[in-house]
Chain A
């Protein structure tokens, strides 16, 4: 006749589960962090005293004013620097002009205001901002119309 064992505490072996969870944890850790570092950003601090939230239109006379006009229905952009058209509408040329101004002693904190016609493609606005940031200007502002539908410049 078999003798019954006394009922004792059953402890499940958690080691394989911990192994699996560790692998999952490492996967998500790496997967998340690798995914995060692949995108760049351009940063700006808009001037709250002159934006649409300020309540009134403000006229500012920036050291550098870049205006972009649509060219060939979105295929290009005409570049104006302080109302003067830039030769070849070339953003590298814009960068060189801005860099020369910086090297000539322009204050990097002076606002660079970018305005664009509503139909200008976003990539050209970013190129203009890129040129200003590369040239060393830190205060890039955007001319924004108060009402939708009007020109941004």
Chain B
């Protein structure tokens, strides 16, 4: 008697592809950003965050006051980082909010902002959340006390 392993291999292949894509998505969502520190920051797994749109606000260049808004998206073939114009942030949030409403989901906005960006750049995302009526907002931060910077 020979055990038929083909269905098992099929399932495992699907799982591998899923984790490969998930790992890529997570890596892209976690594009290196110098996050602020917060003692009260709770560590959560992204799966606990549910339906979400993650917006990374990073400095356009080191030492620059300008910022760029980055989202992770699927371009039909692969996962890509898309840099949005400030005006596009509102459109993105409103589109995602409308889609979530159609699918009866509660959408959450995750803001990953570089600690040294000016508040006006984060405020623009908060304003977009307000316009899109996304009330549930999460800020990512390093958990703990900010280490002393070398003088």
Contacts and interface: CB of A to CB of B under 8 A. Distances in A.
Contact of A46 (B8, B35, B135): B135
Contacts of B135: 45-48, 51
Interface in B1-43: 2, 5-6, 8-9, 12-13, 15-16, 19-20, 22-23, 26-27, 30, 35-43
Contact of B26 (A32, A44, A68): A32
A44 B141 CA distance: 13
A25 to B, nearest CB: 6
A56 B44 CA distance: 35
B38 A14 contact: no
B45 A127 contact: no
B130 to A, nearest CB: 3
B38 A46 contact: no
Contact of B119 (A28, A38, A119, A149): A119
A120 B136 contact: no
Nearest to B24: A32
Contact of B138 (A36, A42, A74, A149): A42
Given A17-B9, A39-B140, A53-B131, A122 B122 contact: yes
Given A18-B12, A40-B140, A126-B139, A53 B119 contact: no
A80 interface: no
Contact of A14 (B6, B16, B19, B41): B6
B83 interface: no
A35 B117 CA distance: 25
A38 B43 contact: yes
Given A28-B20, A118-B123, A121-B117, A21 B38 contact: no
15 contacts: A18-B5, A21-B12, A25-B15, A32-B23, A41-B42, A42-B138, A48-B130, A74-B118, A118-B118, A121-B118, A126-B38, A127-B36, A129-B38, A130-B39, A133-B38
Interface of B: 2, 5-6, 8-9, 12-13, 15-16, 19-20, 22-23, 26-27, 30, 35-47, 49, 57, 86, 110, 113-124, 126-127, 129-143, 146
